[in-house]
Amino acid sequence: MSKGPWLDEGEQQAWRSYLLMKRTLETHLERHLQREFGLSGSDFEILVNLSESESGRMRAFELGRSTQWEKSRLSHHLTRMEKRGLIRKEACDARYPEIVITEEGLAAIKECAPAHAARVREFFVDVFGPERLGVLGEVSDEIVATIGKHCATDCPPEVRGTA
Amino acid sequence: MSKGPWLDEGEQQAWRSYLLMKRTLETHLERHLQREFGLSGSDFEILVNLSESESGRMRAFELGRSTQWEKSRLSHHLTRMEKRGLIRKEACDARYPEIVITEEGLAAIKECAPAHAARVREFFVDVFGPERLGVLGEVSDEIVATIGKHCATDCPPEVRGTA
């Protein structure tokens, strides 16, 4: 089934098109958030996670699992967001404080969400169209499952992300 | 044609599946590069760009355009890579030095390329399969073109990335 490690010309082309699209879209969405709402892509990601959690609060390790960021990146970023009043840390447990979205953080995410959704629609959803978008969703789930299965059996902790 | 800014449930689902896939795949590929070859994803990206350029050398602004990184991130990262002997800066022009891949950088990229390609095949190319992969390549090119057209007419310089 597999043709060995190297990609043939068509595969290579598709992989590069995907990489360029991923980067172009990400950069474009992040620059708009920054310019119009003063939020970085990282701020946005943390705020979305917290605002969609049941109580507006999560443990740092849950945020880490969800964002897949390294611990030090997460910890530094949360400290910066706390200084800006977007989140606060509540020490229910001395070692594992809860991260809570503030009124200000909630207002920030509510303010930018419609404009962000409009851009995702214009540059991604509408370009795909319903049929191709459905296929992408399916393959994406398959890829996540394939990597998950591989990591459950074959990956050392530092690749699984549990180190 | 467009249904307003908000995504419906299916669109939202596909967008989230895509975001999770993108992050999971990226994290997985980067952790393997780090663990097995001591290269970060950023190192890999710079080395791939330089090794595929005609002469193994590029101006920093060309690397910036190709990676879409902010100037300060690029500049800091190139300094770190120079200290590790992976690249060197050649001052053909005082203001715009050329970035040159070293023998050591070339050896590093040659060493990790087959293992990296094998993972891209296993977790991306083979899961998509030829037909769905072809469609993804097409849509990706359409998205890049759509954003490019938008930026050429509607984006301020800090969103276009030319600020």
CATH of the domain at A54: 1.10.10.10
Considering CB atoms only, which of B31, B115, B123 is closest to A146?
A: B123
B27/A68 touch (CB, cutoff 8 Å), yes or no: yes
Mean pLDDT score, A16-28: 95
CA-nearest residue of chain B to A31? B159
Within a domain: A10:
no
The stretches of A2-155 forming alpha helices (DSSP H) are 9-37, 41-52, 60-67, 71-83, 103-120, 126-154
pLDDT category at A29 given cuts 50, 70, 90 is: very high
| pLDDT band of B1, cuts 50, 70, 90 | very low
Residue A134 inside a domain? The answer is: yes
In a domain? residue A15: no
Does pLDDT of B75 surpass 50?
yes
Is A156 a member of any domain? Answer: yes
Is residue A25 a contact partner of residue A124, using CB atoms and an 8 Å limit? yes
Residue A41 · residue A49 · CB < 8 Å = no
Q: Check residue B3 and give its pLDDT.
A: 57
CB contact under 8 A, B17 and A135: no
Q: Is residue A17 part of a domain?
A: no
Residue A154 to chain B, least CA–CA distance (Å)? 12
Q: Which pTM value belongs to this model?
A: 0.89
CB-CB neighbors (< 8 A) of A15 in chain B: 120, 124-125
pLDDT averaged over every residue in chain A: 91
Domain-embedded: residue B7: no
Residue B10 in any domain: the answer is: no
Q: Which residues of B touch A71 (CB under 8 A)?
A: none
Total domains present in chain A? 1
Based on the number of CB atoms within 10 Å of its own CB, is A137 exposed (0-12), middle (13-18) or buried (19 or more)? buried
| pLDDT, tens digit (0-9, with 9 covering 90-100), for A76-92 | 999 999 999 999 999 87
Query: Is there a domain that residue A113 lies in?
Result: yes
Predicted local confidence at residue A1, as pLDDT: 46
Query: Which of B11, B17, B156 has its CB closest to that of A125?
Result: B11
Domain that holds residue A147: 24-160
